Amino acid sequence: MSIMGFATAVFLFCLGLFTVLTRRSAFKTVIGLMLMESGVLLLLVSWAYIPGGGPPILPLQGTGVDPLPHALTLTAIVIGACDIALAFAFIMKLERFEKSVDVDRFRRLRG
């Protein structure tokens, strides 16, 4: 049952990692980071699901699903949005200096 969720989460994470490793456009790197984040979110939420459980809103009918991973996931989504915004700010700033969004060309800080 939850094995499908785990499989999709692992697929998303590895696809995101592959994108970060191979693509040269900085925007594609950010897309890869977003996919990796999505994989982690999906893993946490599908792990929290308990067959027959209701949503964690009181009063419960029967048992509820695990609310703790939900709280962690919520935190992760907001933090993820913030660091993606920061990544865009970096890309926009670098593009003004280098006139490119190619990560292979950002060599100014290389030792």
Partner 1 sequence: MNVSLLAVLYLFIAVTALVAVLLEDLLSAFITLSFTGVLMATVFALLRAPDVALTQAIINSGLVTSLLLVAYSQTRKTPHPPEVCDECPSWLQVKVPAFVCSVLGLLLFRGLYSLAGERSLPEASAHYLARTLEETGALNVVGALLLDYRAFDTLGETTVIFAAVSGVSILLSGGKRVHSGHGLSYIVKRGMALLTPFILLYAASILFLGHLTPGGGFQGGSVFATVAILMCVVYGTGFEASRISSKSKETLEAGGAILFVLVGLLGIAWGAGFLSNLPAPFSAGTPGSLLSAGSMPLLNIAVGLKVGAGLSSIFYAMIKILELEDE
Q: Answer yes or no whether residue 109 interacts with partner 1 by CB under 8 A.
A: no
Burial class of residue 58 in the structure, from the number of CB atoms within 10 Å of its CB (0-12 exposed, 13-18 middle, 19+ buried): exposed
Give yes or no for residue 58 binding partner 1 (CB under 8 A): yes
Residue with tokens 């900085």: 26
Of 22 and 109, nearer to partner 1 (C-beta) is: 22
Q: Does 62 bind partner 1 (CB under 8 A)?
A: no
Q: Which of 94, 111, 93, 87 is nearest to 31 (CA)?
A: 87
Residue whose CB is less far from partner 1, 104 or 111: 104
Residue 29 makes contact with partner 1 by CB under 8 A: no
> Is 33 a residue that touches partner 1 (CB under 8 A)?
no
> Quick one: angle between helices 26-48 and 2-22, nearest 10?
160
40 contacts partner 1 (rule: CB under 8 A): no
DSSP one-letter code for 60: P
Considering only residues 33, 40, 80, 110, which one is a binding residue for partner 1 as defined by CB under 8 A? 80
